[in-house]
Amino acid sequence: MGSVAVTTYASRRRTPGLPVRPAVVSSRSAERFAERVSARRAVTRRHLAVGAAVVLAAAVLSWLLLLSPVLALEPAEVVVRDPGTVVTVADVLSVVDARAGTPLPRLDTVALRDAILEVPGVRSAKVMRDWPHGLTITLVSREPVAAIPDPAGGFALRDADGVQVGRAATPPTGLPVVTIPATATDTKRTLAAVLGVLDALPADLRSQVAAVQAASQDTVGMDLRDGAHVVWGSADQTALKIAVLKALRAAPVSAHAKVFDVSAPTLPITR
């Protein structure tokens, strides 16, 4: 008779009624487990390497933009536009020179604009970066609109806001002389009304004005260079008054009048 081989599993307990299966760990399963562990480690190393590269790149980029001279401000690359007749460009550039070498990304353009506003004659300013090394500075200057006699002698030149932007021994060519008597009801408001009217006039009409007088803010009058006188009144309805005066000066029946009263622009009077 043949012999019967009996296999026992001493390490496992047999549950009554259930077959006993041997706990077998194949070499193939162990290899797969080891491969998964190795893959996870490789992914972790890649993530660490990528993170380190990103940090290094950010540090290098920050240095290039914020600390290195690659984007440094060079005064020779600064352009000043619209300085007008009263702003000295060299004064504006001297403000910029104090910031030479500052990288443009770090340059505080708001603080620079505020500093430029302190330059005599500057009414407003706009500062724009001009990569990689320059700036474009656009100005609005305080252009004089009137010459006002000074009791001490000469004339004070004032802009539309009443700010003195210069002095002259004689009125500059083309600039009207403003006279406000000491008996004016409110000198400050009267002057503001006169300067507001002059600032609102188009250049071609303003160039015809030789002198302006006002005893109050409602009694502005202008002498034109051809000898005619304009009764303007208050600073109200300035745009309409300008249109009416231009029409009266151009119409054949009124072009040679000596007085143009546009204080009530809907009912103008000439004589």
Specify the residue for token string 């702003």: 87
| Residues 140, 109 contacting (CB under 8 angstroms) | no
Closest CA relative to residue 121, chosen from 94, 161, 152:
161
Map residue 175 onto helix, strand or coil: coil
Confidence (pLDDT) at 25: 52
Residue 60 confidence (pLDDT) above 80: no
Q: What residues does 177 pair with on adjacent strands?
A: 147, 211
Give the pLDDT confidence score for residue 6 in this predicted structure: 45
The whole-angstrom distance between residue 126's C-alpha and the CA centroid of its chain comes to 4
Give me the mean pLDDT over the 93-101 stretch: 95
Q: What is the mean pLDDT of residues 222-241?
A: 97
* Span 8-36, pLDDT tens digits: 444 445 555 555 555 555 677 777 777 77
Q: Is the pLDDT of residue 185 over 70?
A: yes
Q: Give the global pTM.
A: 0.67
Residues with Cβ within 8 Å of 22's Cβ and at least 6 positions away in sequence, in order, are 9, 12
Among the listed residues 181, 151, 246, the one whose alpha carbon sits nearest the alpha carbon of residue 208: 246
pLDDT digits 0-9 by tens, 29-56:
777 777 777 778 777 778 777 777 777 6
